[in-house]
Chains A and B, each alone.
Chain A
Amino acid sequence: MWSFIHKLGSPPWFYRFSGTFIRWLLPITVGMLVCGAIWGLLIAPPDFRQGNSYRIIYIHVPAAVVALAGYYVMAFAGAVSLIWRIKMADVAMRAAAPVGAVLTAVALVTGAIWGKPTWGAWWVWDARITSMLILFFLYLGVVALFEAYENKAAAAKACAVLSLVGTVNIPIIYKSVDWWYSLHQPASIKFTGESAIDASMLYPLLLMIVAFYFLFACAVLLNMRAELVWAHRQSSWLRQALGAA
């Protein structure tokens, strides 16, 4: 088990392994996404209060969940790269950052699309959306910091430090925004009411969440492969691998 993880640290080995891994991961992901989408968007029953417009949660919620989890994946990869100085962990961290940022953006946009028919406004400052927005800034910060450094090895270490600082803060941010919201809550409707969700709507949602996790993994692996192709474009093992494919 440890030797497997150790081998992953070598670019040629990782490239070969991820190639075969993706070859079956990608179809499974696409399959799950299609099934989940059809189930959620067409088969699941319409909501009592919101009618059909609630269906956007099948994209919004998985995107939000995976975006938050993705930050921890990124920070974990950064920690591994800092502590054990494994370059592939660097690559993983940098591959995860833009994927997470895009997922957060998707969550924000779909949240806005959900908000308009449901509560009448494109943007509502409720606790969850506000926390998502802050998460988006945290992601952008990591990406921007990497671009700003000249020495890319130092850049990777800096991003690792930044994402670790972010992970410590994320629970604090989420909780404080929760409290901020309840402090200033307008006296009317509770926007994020925790109504019990029916099984017929829950299962497609769970499928979509799992599908998005797989999608995240595919995107990160593809990103890592692209990074390796660029970084090692002069080396012979890559030319062999690309020639053989």
Chain B
Amino acid sequence: MLWPDTADASLWRAFRRQFVRHGKSLLATPSDAANPLLFFFMVVTLFPIGLGPDPDLLAKMAPGILWVVALLSSLMVSAKLFASDFEDGSVEQMALAPYPLAVLALAEVSAHWLATGFVLALTAPLFGIMLGLPIHALPALVASLFLGTQCLLLIGAVGSALTVSIRRGGLLLSLLILPLNIPVLIFGSAAVSEAVQHGNVLSWLALLAAMALAALVLAPLAVGAALRISLDN
């Protein structure tokens, strides 16, 4: 909805404003950002308990385990992405603002990613070591999660926007998002496995980077459309 705006209509200012708003509310309720990280921590711990403490087995499975748990944690994050904004009427106001909803949504997702995916990527080496991942593979772990969590959250945002108007839409969100997340999982875990074996890591990271760039451009458009559809439900 665009009509002549008497005030300053700078798109970047609107983006920054939405970013700061979401960032401040995340800082004010730290559990929203901390819970997925704690979830990641606990679930990673479950695997040695379930599989047995054999260090060779764990080291072999570490890339897969870390990436699957990162994906699950991202599902948790996505489920709450637009929920509170939808309930308190913020999405309505965003839809009425004279700026593209896609841009405002991207601002929110960016702020959310900095608080969740980015932090996860930085703290992942700790869990890698717990599972016996060799040290030389840790940079690849961080890089793959850095790029991969962006993809996961952008795709998750589409799912969240589609299901935000549905009661208990969290489970449906998982069903919708999981198939779309599988390529990210494949590329990410392959990057780490290859790093362990001193193989070719860069091509997998390049694929992740390409997906992240494509998602950065395309996902907000889908999110904008989906949020408007949810307002109509």
Contact = CB atoms under 8 A, between A and B. Distances in A.
Interface of A: 134-135, 137-138, 140-141, 144-145, 148-151, 153-155, 157-158, 161-162, 164-166, 168-169, 172-173, 175-177, 179-180, 183
A145 B229 CA distance: 12
A151 B187 contact: no
A136 to B, nearest CB: 9
Contacts, number: 81
B229 A176 contact: no
A183 B233 contact: no
Given A145-B172, A161-B222, A183-B190, A176 B179 contact: no
Given A141-B175, A145-B162, A158 B190 contact: no
A176 B180 contact: no
Contacts of A149: 165-166, 233
B48 interface: no
B183 A169 contact: yes
Given A150-B233, A154-B232, A161-B222, A134 B179 contact: yes
Nearest to A140: B175
A158 to B, nearest CB: 5
B186 A176 contact: yes
A154 B190 contact: no
B66 interface: no
B233 A134 contact: no
A145 B222 contact: no
B225 interface: yes
Interface of B: 158, 162-163, 165-166, 169, 172, 175-176, 178-180, 182-183, 186-187, 190, 193, 207, 211, 218, 222, 225-226, 229-230, 232-233
Contacts of A134: 179, 182
A161 B162 contact: yes
A149 B167 CA distance: 9
7 contacts: A134-B179, A154-B230, A154-B233, A157-B229, A157-B232, A168-B218, A176-B207
Given A149-B165, A162-B176, A180-B186, A172 B229 contact: no
Contacts of B186: 176-177, 179-180
Residue with the greatest number of chain B CB neighbours at <10 A, chosen from A138, A140, A149: A149
A173 B155 CA distance: 14
A169 B211 CA distance: 10
A161 B176 contact: no
A154 to B, nearest CB: 4
Nearest to A180: B186
A155 to B, nearest CB: 8
A177 B166 contact: no
A33 to B, nearest CB: 30
A185 B176 CA distance: 28
A127 to B, nearest CB: 11
A14 to B, nearest CB: 25
B226 A137 contact: no
Given A148-B172, A150-B233, A161-B162, A166 B226 contact: no
Given A140-B175, A162-B176, A151 B182 contact: no
A151 to B, nearest CB: 5
Contact of A173 (B183, B225, B226, B230): B183
B179 A165 contact: no
Given A151-B232, A165-B180, 17 more contacts: A134-B182, A135-B179, A141-B172, A145-B172, A148-B169, A149-B165, A149-B166, A150-B233, A153-B232, A157-B232, A162-B162, A162-B176, A176-B182, A179-B186, A179-B190, A180-B186, A183-B193
Nearest to B174: A141
Contacts of B190: 179-180, 183
Nearest to B184: A176
A164 B225 CA distance: 12
Residue with the greatest number of chain B CB neighbours at <10 A, chosen from A150, A165, A175: A165
A166 B159 CA distance: 11
